[in-house]
Amino acid sequence: MKEEIIIAGFGGQGVLSMGKILAYAGLMNNLEVTWMPAYGPEQRGGTANVTVILSDSPISSPVLDRYDTAVILNQQSLDKFESKVKPGGTLIYDPSGIHHLPTRTDINIVPVDAMEAAIEMNNTKTYNMILLGSLLALRPIVDTEAVVKALRKTLPERHHHLIPLNEQAIAKGMELARK
Amino acid sequence: MKGNEAIAHAAIRYGVDGYFGYPITPQSEVLETLEDEQPWDTTGMVVLQAESEVAAINMVYGGASSGKAVMTSSSSPGVSLKQEGISYIAAAELPALIVNVMRGGPGLGTIQPSQADYFQATKGGGHGDYHLIVLSPATVQEMADFVGLGFDLAFKYRTPAMILADGIVGQMMEKVVLPPFRPRRTDAEIAAQCPWATTAKRGRGHRNIVTSLEMDSPKMEENNRRFQETYARIQENEVRFQEYYTEDAEYLMVAFGSVARICLKAIEDARAAGIKVGLLRPITLWPFPTKEIAALSRRVKGMLVVELNAGQMIEDVRLATEGRVPVYHFGRMGGMIPNPDEVLDALKKDFPEIK
């Protein structure tokens, strides 16, 4: 098993932290993991992306140009990464702010209205966890239990009371992706 | 954890006595993690943010003179500032660990990954005839492991060692098994291990003086001969490298650090297409695996050196092959990173017989 994932959007949308939680969840499931960010000023606005690889064997390159799965949160990232999804792969995107829809027919394209769902949940910070839920519904590479363990590991203790809310967000994302 | 964080944790666990640094992207997490961990309360390790890189390396010089296990870390422009101090430390025959998490240059350049400090690290960097032991990590695990290895080699040969990492391996997160905790050495242990150190006389009867200055030229030449003997012993005993798919390889890629992993992915793709390519990854950039590359140059049809620079390690590869096979270069510069497809395309372009 090997899953090569790109998560891309604006800085501040939780791109890097979503990738980090996914990587830690892989670790909890005893997988090999790499988390490779486009680091630097991108983290403070502008586009941000992170490559996450989960595998049951040692991982060679942390830098890729073709992905099994892409999670896309803005137009620039869609323009950049749509062509880089492997045939038969999965592209999840949030349609808010997307004007030119993805056009490929050889991949599984799934729009998830995560921003709207986050607003419904009265907490826009759940946005990235909703998308993580959608990703895991379509690509069940790690189980929800591992994600909760990862949240416990990566969130500072003062934020642990937010873990149930994050679980709800993941469940919401799963439901949206299955529609 | 990130590669930079792994260095900080490994330093505390190794029993390092002092870290002196100054923040610079993409290695600032080393200092940040040490400040978070507060090892001065647990192991007694000193962590100090100096006023500049120059100050930090001279603090290392002072700490190393007293036999302490001391280190600094920086990124390319900061490591340039440290060069005078590194030359002094090498000339004074002191153990120390210097970490360079390279970014794109020259000048202030960019904060993105690079390998353009290969010449600086392996050919001297500062003035005078000296070498550093240069370790090149490709994984977060090696970032952790090479802290201990670097110090062990530095103390064994009384010469500074460098971890020459790139921004990728500094910023990337991977699984890592940290080394076990070991206590810092006691003053008595340091005095026993380092009879040359300025540890106070302790009944020794004479004063130890640590200096790089020797005004008497015949004596300075004698010192240089001793340094060269040390370097010869290091070249004899400490070459480290890793080979992948070389048994039946018709073509060889040579790459270090995280670029070796990008090449490995390209090679996996090439092998799937029936192209017999292998990889040699030097782990020590100095001493360089010259003999191993020479041996491979008798078996393969050609070599491709892949680096994040305009062509630096390729000079050492060409010297090793002595013109037996064509050696080509593929590099990206200024913080750009090639993907595996680009590497494979470069191989096919240089060796058109590969279909």
Structure token digits, residue B81: 């500032």
Q: What is the CATH number of the domain that holds A74?
A: 3.40.920.10
Q: Is A128 part of any domain?
A: no
The reported pLDDT for the residue numbered B205 is 84
Count of residues making up chain B: 355
Contact call for residues B151 and B14 (beta carbons, < 8 A): yes
8 A C-beta contact, residue B309 and residue B333: yes
| B111/A35 touch (CB, cutoff 8 Å), yes or no | no
User: Is the predicted pLDDT of residue B195 greater than 70, yes or no?
Assistant: yes
Question: Domain count of chain B?
Answer: 2
Residue A134 lies in a domain: no
Name the token pair of A25: 């969840």
Enclosing H/E stretch for A66: none
Q: Chain B partners of A32 at a C-beta cutoff of 8 Å?
A: 174-175
Q: Kindly state the average pLDDT of the residues B286-291.
A: 98
Q: What percent of chain B has pLDDT over 90?
A: 97
| Residue B100 CB contacts under 8 Å (≥ 6 apart), including other chains | B27, B73, B74, B75, B76, B79, B117, B121, B162, B163, B164, B165
Structure confidence at residue B235 (pLDDT): 98
User: Which of B116-125, B195-204, B269-278 is least confident?
Assistant: B195-204
In the predicted model, what is the mean pLDDT of residues B44-57? 98
Whether residue B247 sits in one domain with residue B165: no
Does residue A9 form part of some domain? Answer: yes
What gap in Å lies between CA A29 and CA A52, rounded to an integer? 15
The answer on B7 and B156 residing in a single domain is yes
**With contacts defined as CB-CB under 8 Å, which chain B residues touch A65?**
339-342
Looking at the fold, whether B136 and B13 belong to one and the same domain comes out as: yes
Domain membership of residue B342 (yes or no) is yes
Conformation bin of residue A40: beta by default, left when phi > 0, alpha when psi is -120 to 50: left
Q: What is the pLDDT of residue A41?
A: 56
Torsion sign, CA atoms B54, B55, B59, B62: positive
In a domain, B8, yes or no: yes
SS3 of residue A111 by DSSP: strand
Omega of the bond prior to A102 within 30 degrees of 0, cis?
no
Range of the domain at A45: 2-112+145-162
Count of C-beta atoms within a 10 Å radius of residue B207: 8
- Residue B275 domain boundaries: 241-350
Chain A residue closest in CA terms to B266: A61
Helix (H) / strand (E) element for B145: namely helix B140-157
Average pLDDT over residues B289-299: 98
Q: Is some CB atom of chain A closer than 8 A to the CB atom of B79?
A: no
SS3 state of residue B351: coil
**Which pLDDT score is estimated for A97?**
84
Q: Which of B171, B173, B261, B258 is nearest to A27 (CA)?
A: B173
B11 backbone dihedrals φ, ψ, rounded to 5°: -65, -45
A136 in a structural domain: no
Residues of chain B with Cβ-Cβ distance to A62 below 8 Å are 168, 172, 258, 261-262
| Residue A44 in this model has a pLDDT that exceeds 70 | no
Burial B243-258 (b: 16+ CB within 10 A, else e): ebbbeebebbbbbbbb
Nearest CA in chain B to A33: B174
Other C-beta atoms lying within 10 Å of the C-beta of residue B315? 16
Average pLDDT score, chain B = 97
Nearest to B172 among A27, A62, A64 (CB): A62
Q: Stretch B136-140: mean pLDDT, rounded? A: 98
Q: Which of B171, B198, B216 marks a domain boundary? A: B171
In a domain, B330, yes or no: yes
Contact between A127 and A112 under an 8 Å Cβ cutoff? The reply is no
DSSP symbol at B161 = E
Residue A177 lies in a domain: no
Instruction: pLDDT band for A10, please (50, 70, 90 cuts).
Output: confident
A43 has a pLDDT exceeding 70: no
CATH code of the domain in which B262 resides: 3.40.50.920
- Mutation for testing the A interface, residue in B28, B175, B177, B258 having most A CBs under 10 Å: B175
Among B171, B194, B225, which residue terminates a domain? B171
Instruction: Give the domain-ending residue among B171, B203, B220.
Output: B171
Q: How far apart are CA B141 and CA B309, in angstroms?
A: 24
B321-355 confidence digits (pLDDT tens): 999 999 999 999 999 999 999 999 999 999 999 97
> How open is the CA angle B273-B275-B280, to the nearest 5 degrees?
125
Residue A175 located in a structural domain: no
Tell me the pLDDT tens digit for each residue of A147-176.
999 999 989 999 999 999 999 999 999 999
Average pLDDT of span B30-50: 98
> Has residue B188 been placed in a domain?
no
**pLDDT for the residue B229:** 98
Per-residue pLDDT, averaged over B279-298, amounts to 98
- Collect all residues with Cβ–Cβ distance below 8 Å to B208 and sequence separation of at least 6: B195, B196, B197, B198, B199
Are residues B19 and B153 located together in one domain of the fold?
A: yes
Give the alpha-carbon dihedral of B84, B85, B88, B93, to 10 degrees.
Answer: -140
Q: Is B176 on the interface with A (CB under 8 A)?
A: no
B277 DSSP β-pair partners: B251
The residue among B31 and A44 whose pLDDT is bigger is: B31
* Closest residue on chain B to A32 (Cα): B175
Structure tokens at B194: 């380092």
Output the pLDDT for position B203: 78
Q: Is residue B137 part of a domain?
A: yes
For residues B245 and B167, membership in a common domain is answered with: no
Q: How far apart are CA B114 and CA A94, in angstroms?
A: 34
Using pLDDT thresholds of 50, 70 and 90, give the confidence band for residue A11: confident
Q: Any chain A CB within 8 A of the CB of B261?
A: yes
ipTM: 0.89
CA distance A15 to A23: 12
Q: How many domains does chain A have?
A: 1
Residue B55 lies in a domain: yes
**pLDDT tens-digit map of B154-177:** 999 999 999 999 999 999 999 999
